[in-house]
Amino acid sequence: MIYTRRALVASSTAQAREAEVQLADMGDWVDVEDAEVIIALGGDGFMLQTLHAMLERRKPVVPVFGMNLGTVGFLMNEWRHHGLDDRLERAKSFKVTPLKMTATGVDGRVHTLPAINEVSLLRETRQTAKLEVAVNDRVVLPELACDGILAATPAGSTAYNLSAQGPILPLGSGMIALTPISPFRPRRWRGAILPDKARIGIRVLDAGKRPVSAVADQREIRDVAQVDICMDRARELTLLFDPEHALDDRITMEQFAA
């Protein structure tokens, strides 16, 4: 596809700013609000920041083509200052559906946030968290004693979820990974793979003595009493990748990484 209205955004690192200068004189760039596609320069954290900024504007989202000028760059393409027109025309598009986290605090306030990678619940003190886990309104774990728990999308399954020994989910699998973080009891529960139509409810037991925070990607709500998680199909995102370096292939190959 040929994109005529392009926006250029870059992270605050010196490397990304230098790349931004190199590209700035190579075409006519428009504001993000008027763009058909966004070129994002930075790492995975900046890509998540860029995608969240689009979701918060609540306008129709546009595809994002990222180029890695960060550390890991799992969601990014290789940085090259030349051949951008051809790369965009040949790029493969991948749909990414974010999670919607609805967190109710112990004070009764309700916070609704999107999560592209994962929603995680984490203990705030030395006290072990105790959580009740429900799926589609059915309690499946009356009490999980742990450091926390997370729900990850396929796109986010190779991030925090993988570090917590969770499964890698192929893109397009239609699944959510539900992974405990340092579980104590039940000792043998190592998580679940759920259909992405599932509604997950997590209630904090004894929230006063054992406070828990909820994090949607990089945004934290402290002292939560209940967290409800589901896919937000109304806010689908599109990432663009070079055909030889596509996201689905990267996720597949992560399963064979040494």
**Per DSSP, what are the bridge partners of residue 145?**
130, 185
155 is in an annotated binding site: yes
159 is in an annotated binding site: yes
Torsion of CA 240, 244, 245, 248, to 10 degrees: 80
CA angle 194, 195, 196 (to 5 degrees): 110
> Does residue 75 contact residue 66 with C-beta atoms inside 8 Å?
yes
Which residue matches tokens 């190579």?
26
43 is in an annotated binding site: no
223 is in an annotated binding site: no
Question: In terms of Cα–Cα distance, which of 63, 17, 5 is closest to 41?
Answer: 17
12 is in an annotated binding site: no
Could you tell me which residues come within 8 angstroms of residue 245 by beta carbon, excluding any fewer than 6 positions away? 77, 78
Q: Which of 31, 34, 44, 217 is catalytic?
A: 44
| Residue 44 is among the residues annotated as catalytic for this protein | yes
136 is in an annotated binding site: no
In the 3-class helix/strand/coil scheme, how is 74-114 assigned residue by residue?
CCCECCCCCCHHHHHHHCEEEEECCEEEEEEECCCCEEEEE
10 is in an annotated binding site: no
160 is in an annotated binding site: yes
147 is in an annotated binding site: yes
44 is in an annotated binding site: yes
Please tell me the distance from the alpha carbon of residue 207 to that of residue 257, in angstroms, as a whole number. 39
Please tell me the distance from the alpha carbon of residue 66 to that of residue 160, in angstroms, as a whole number. 21
Total number of residues shown for the chain:
258
- What residues act catalytically? 44
Binding-site entries for NAD(+)? 44-45, 117-118, 147, 155, 158-163
Annotated binding-site positions? 44-45, 117-118, 147, 155, 158-163
